[in-house]
Amino acid sequence: MISLKKNYLRQKVAELLIIRSSGHLCDTQRQYPKWELKNSELKRLLEEGVGGVILLGGSIHELQQRSKILSSWSAKPLLLCADIEEGLGQRFQGGTWFVPPLAVGQIYRKDPEKAILLAEKYGSSTGFQARICGLNWILAPVCDINSNPNNPVINVRAWGENHSTVSELTCAFNRGLASQGVLSCAKHFPGHGDTSVDSHLELPILEHDLNRLEEIEFSPFKTLVAAGADSVMSAHILLRKIDSRHPATLSRKVLTTLLREKIGFDGLLVTDALVMEAISKCYGVAESAVLAFEAGADLLMMPENPDEAINAICSALLSGRIPMKRLEEALVRRRKALAKIEAFNSTSLDQKSKVDSLDIERDADRALADELIRRSILVRKQLDLDAKNHAGINLLRVDSVLPCPFLTPLSPACCMPEAIGFRTILCHQLGISPWATDLNEPLALTRFGDGPFLLQLFCRGNPFRGDLNNQEPWLVVIQQLQKQNRLSGLVVYGSPYLWNELIQVLDPSIPSAYSPGQMPEAQNQVLSAFLATDKMKNVLQTQTLRDFTD
The residue among 285, 321, 290 whose CA lies nearest residue 302 is: 285
Judged on CB neighbours under 10 Å (0-12, 13-18, 19+), 392 is buried
Residue partners of 202: CB distance under 8 A and separation at least 6? 277, 278, 281
Task: Select which of 194, 272, 298, 399 is catalytic.
Answer: 272
DSSP secondary-structure letter at 373? Answer: H
Asked whether 48 and 14 are in contact (CB, 8 A), the reply is: yes
Pairing of strands 512-515, 378-381: antiparallel
Respond yes or no on whether the N-terminal peptide bond of residue 190 is cis (omega within 30° of 0).
Answer: yes
Q: Is 61 a catalytic residue?
A: no
In angstroms, the CA 267 to CA 118 distance is: 27
Q: Spot the catalytic one: 24, 188, 192, 200.
A: 200
The residues near 464 (Cβ < 8 Å, ≥ 6 apart) are 198, 200, 201
What is the distance between the alpha carbons of residues 446 and 443, in angstroms, rounded to a whole number?
A: 9
Cα–Cα distance for residue pair 87/137, rounded to 1 Å: 13
Q: Is residue 236 flagged as an active site residue?
A: no
CA distances from 390 to 209, 454, 543 (A): 55, 9, 15
Q: Dihedral, CA atoms, 99, 104, 106, 111, nearest 10 degrees?
A: 140
Specify whether the CB–CB gap between 306 and 142 falls below 8 A: no
Alpha-carbon gap, residue 401 to 428, rounded angstroms = 7
How many separate helices (H) and strands (E) can be counted in the chain? Answer: 19, 16
Q: Which residues are catalytic?
A: 200, 272
